[in-house]
């Protein structure tokens, strides 16, 4: 059995070869992308450290009644702003009022007895021992009156400072007792921005150093100074807590708000900077730049950026060594390996 092969027509073969050749020529003749470059280099600039932090109240106090009793009135609620001396709650003081009435009667009796016996003592008709005894009873009656008067005063609970009620731990009709907190108050007319500083950087931070606190929730920058540097490191993280005191007269800064704290150390450091327009961030939140290699090709380099300088440049903390030719324009038309021209 014989097989017959049909030759491919010469014209068809020529057409195929011509098509392949034209594609290769088109690819090889694709024009390089016109770009501008910036030579990355080290520049002296003020050292600025950045940390994440939180807002803390100036003071937090758990307060409660100093005497036993049943809560009869609650005058405030959680989240309410209170002023120093404002009434928070009361307990039923009937028992203490009756005790004060008895103490007043005892004091009147003791004072009358003392007055009569004192005249006898002055005349020499009363023994020294009896005079000392009545004088002691008078002092006891006065002290008993003061104690019961204080118990009545303590049946009303007042705010020891201005702030916000963050917790109410009693209900009307519940029993109150000394040492058991009834409310938690945070003082917020002044607040602190607190951050944890690693051991390697705490030496560059000084008491009184300038700092800028950015509040993302409020989209606001607040200037302050470092007021506290805790000299005791955290045992687990080996970090040192610092605090920046901030005025909060309008009450906008609330405890727990997140902050970004930038601290100027007053020193200059050598840092690599590139124009902000050269930095690209992809959908995976990866930051990178394109640099031109010796073959005039675009090479992608992943970087980590720091602060933005006043000249619209960013500090590159990792990824560049200095001297790289960073591409600043034409970025939308290039990718890894794209041919470029200057």
For residues 167-190, give the mean pLDDT.
92
pLDDT in tens, 115-156: 988 888 888 888 889 889 999 999 999 999 999 999 999 999
pLDDT in tens, 251-290: 889 889 999 999 888 777 778 888 888 899 888 888 999 9
Pick from 32-46, 60-74, 231-245: least confident: 32-46
What domains are defined for the chain?
Answer: 32-47+271-341 (2.40.420.20), 49-58+188-266 (2.40.30.170), 65-91+155-181 (2.40.50.100), 93-154 (1.10.287.470)
Tell me, what's the pLDDT at 91?
Answer: 95
pTM: 0.60
Q: Quick one: pLDDT at residue 305? A: 85
Question: pLDDT at residue 16 above 50?
Answer: no
The 3-class SS string of the chain reads CCCCCCCCCHHHHHHHHHHHHHHHHHHHCCCCEECCEEECEEEEEEEEEEEEEEEEEEEEEEECCCCCEEEEEECCCCCCEECCCCEEEEECCHHHHHHHHHHHHHHHHHHHHHHHHHHHHHHCCCCHHHHHHHHHHHHHHHHHHHHHHHHHHHCEEECCCCEEEEEECCCCCCEECCCCCCEEEEEEEEEEEEEEEEHHHHCCCCCCCEEEEEECCCCEEEEEEEEEECCCCCCCCCEEEEEEEEECCCCCCCCCCEEEEEEEEEEEEEEEEEEHHHCEECCCCCEEEEEECCCCEEEEEECEEEEECCCCEEEEEECCCCCCEEECCCHHHCCCCCEEEC
């Amino acid at each position: 059995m014989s097989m017959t092969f049909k030759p491919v027509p010469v014209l068809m073969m020529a057409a195929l070869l011509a098509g392949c050749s034209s594609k290769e020529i088109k690819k090889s003749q694709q024009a390089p992308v016109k770009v501008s470059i910036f030579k990355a280099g080290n520049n002296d600039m003020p050292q600025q450290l950045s940390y994440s932090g939180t807002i803390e109240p100036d003071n937090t106090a758990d307060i409660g009644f100093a005497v036993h009793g049943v809560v009869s009135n609650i005058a405030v609620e959680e989240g309410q702003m209170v002023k120093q001396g404002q009434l928070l709650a009361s307990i039923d003081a009937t028992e203490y009022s009756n005790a004060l009435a008895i103490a007043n009667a005892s004091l009147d009796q003791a004072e009358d007895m003392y007055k009569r016996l004192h005249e006898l003592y002055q005349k020499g008709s009363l023994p020294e021992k009896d005079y000392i005894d009545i004088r002691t009873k008078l002092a006891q009656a006065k002290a008993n009156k003061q104690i019961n008067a204080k118990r009545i005063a303590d049946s009303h609970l007042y705010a020891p400072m201005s702030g916000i009620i963050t917790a109410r731990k009693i209900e009307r009709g519940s029993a109150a007792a000394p040492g058991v907190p009834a409310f938690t108050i945070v003082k917020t007319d002044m607040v602190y921005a607190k951050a944890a500083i690693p051991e390697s950087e705490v030496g560059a931070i000084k008491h009184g150093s300038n700092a800028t606190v950015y509040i993302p929730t409020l989209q606001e920058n607040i200037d302050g100074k470092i007021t506290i540097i805790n000299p005791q490191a955290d045992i687990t993280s080996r970090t040192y807590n610092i605090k920046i005191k901030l005025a909060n007269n309008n009450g906008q800064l609330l405890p727990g708000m997140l902050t970004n704290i930038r601290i100027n150390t007053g020193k200059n450091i050598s840092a690599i900077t590139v124009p902000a327009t050269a930095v690209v961030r992809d959908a995976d939140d990866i930051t990178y730049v394109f640099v031109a290699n010796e073959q005039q090709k675009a090479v992608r380099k992943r970087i980590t950026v720091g602060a933005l300088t006043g000249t619209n440049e960013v500090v590159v903390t990792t990824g560049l060594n200095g001297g790289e030719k960073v591409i600043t324009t034409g970025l939308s038309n290039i990718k890894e390996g794209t041919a470029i021209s200057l």
